[in-house]
Structure 1
Amino acid sequence: MIIELSHRVTEGMTTYPGIPGPVMGVHLSREDSRDLYAPGTEFHIGVVTLAANTGTYVDTPYHRYPDGADLSRVPLEKLADLPGLVVRARGGGRAVVLDRSLDVRGRAVLIDTGWDRHFGTDAYADGHPYLAPESAAWLAEQGAALVGIDSLNVDDTPPRGERPAHTILLGAGIPVVEHLTGLEALPGDGFRFHAAPPMIAGMGSFTVRAYAVVPG
């Protein structure tokens, strides 16, 4: 079974306050394409102006560090077909503190806060859950492969904040996936997680189609 974990990208949508929404356009319309192809044959080629941090997206080390691996240099083994682990963190405090008895080494650790229910509303950016810095440090020490969250940000987001989780995780070469959705549909473990972006040089973040494959 395949479970969708991404938000749908639509024209003008707001993902993060201050980041412009995508603008959709047309390079070649179906009508104009009729002059280029045989009768009865037509195509549509679209154009999109898209901020990298739109919808559900992955942050690579280059997002935080100028000498870090960008989208084109993070190996697929860190982004796709990863053994997954869901951490249930609904109803607790804003700062998510992880149970240190968890086996996270080599796994995609996905934090299920339930905050995705607010996506697309003003409430989404107000008081969102985030990963406690000490838990980010523990995940890096334990060798987690990837960290994801269904919230606005893996860090608390006060103006001019220090962003410790990004600093720690990306500094350790651990990709971060933000704005996940649908994590409640996943089992606690026993699934494979995928969130590979396009292989674009010189960019640190980009929209992904995140999903999980659950046996049976």
Structure 2
Amino acid sequence: MAAAETREHGRRVVDLSHVVRSGMITYPGLPGPEIVDHLSRADSRARYGPGTEFQIGRITMVANTGTYLDTPFHRYADGHDLATFPLSQVVDVDGVVVDASDVDRVAIDESTFGGTDVAGRAVLIRTGWSRFWGTTRYTDGDHPFLTRDAVTWLVQRRPAVVGIDSVNIDDMSDHSRPAHTGLLAAGIPIVEHMCGLEHLPPDGFRLHAAPVAIAGMGTFPVRVYAMVDQGGSRGSRSRQP
């Protein structure tokens, strides 16, 4: 799915989120959302004046739907949840794209990051996997993921947030989930199922991924977008020697 782009005050706004649709499957084994009318426009007409109508929708879904943010509470009972997580880590954050789309294996290791400066930044890992969104290939398990050494490398350098355009930042066959375990233990949130990273420059953009403030939940869909500075070029940062 291509990212939607608009312009605001001379800057490009790039939408990095999948559209949530009724019945769609985000992750294998989890149900798709159900989107229905709680109050239809036709039924609302009896409540309001002539020519006035409204729609009130209802959605039933698991938290891991579409493009979503994982906070530490997703993995740790004593971690920050959606209501207490610091917005400063996911709002107006200096971003960098790490291009892993040319890696000839699904395991993304430390070498992929090269000498990229990630401290305090939004690190977005472009794998190209989002091109399979909505197909069985996307969720078949043979997807790009971070290795343990890559996670250790990131934790040591303290990025503000890490995002990826794959079905899981972890190898789904590794039930210890080292990426979620390591990053969330360090207070580094994760955004999964991103899209449109190919529309971003290597840097020169600000990421926004604010969640709804829900107490007692660690994960929820977010409308992730980037504000690209005027003059920012398209492309992504390739591995450095």
Which TM-score bucket, shorter chain as reference? over 0.9
Q: Among 95, 104, 113, which residue is 2:107 paired with?
A: 95
Identical-pair percentage: 56
Which 10-residue stretch deviates more, 97-106 or 196-205? 97-106
Runs of 4 or more above 4 Å deviation? none
TM-score normalized by the length of structure 1: 0.97
How many angstroms apart in 2 are the aligned matches of 1:80 and 1:95? 29
Q: Which residue does the alignment assign to 1:122?
A: 136
Q: What is the DSSP-based 3-state SS (H/G/I as helix, E as strand, rest coil) of the residue aligned with 1:122?
A: coil
Q: Does 1:201 find its partner at 2:215?
A: yes
> CA RMSD, aligned part only?
1.0
Q: Among 30, 36, 45, which residue is 2:41 paired with?
A: 30
Q: Which residue does the alignment assign to 2:200?
A: 186
How many angstroms apart in 1 are the aligned matches of 2:84 and 2:114? 31
How many angstroms apart in 2 are the aligned matches of 1:108 and 1:91? 21
Which 10-residue stretch deviates more, 22-31 or 59-68? 22-31
TM-score normalized by the length of structure 2: 0.87
Where in structure 2 are there 5+ consecutive unaligned residues?
A: 1-11, 231-241
What's the CA shift string for 1:34-82, capped at 9, x where partnerless?
1111111110000000110001000000000000000001111011111
How many angstroms apart in 2 are the aligned matches of 1:211 and 1:90? 20
Q: What is the DSSP-based 3-state SS (H/G/I as helix, E as strand, rest coil) of the residue aligned with 1:31?
A: helix
State the aligned residue count: 215
Q: Which residue does the alignment assign to 1:7?
A: 18
Where in structure 1 are there 5+ consecutive unaligned residues?
A: none
How many angstroms apart in 2 are the aligned matches of 1:37 and 1:125? 46
How many angstroms apart in 1 are the aligned matches of 2:156 and 2:210? 24
Q: What displacement does 1:100 show?
A: 4.3
Q: What displacement does 1:137 show?
A: 1.3
Q: What displacement does 1:22 show?
A: 0.3
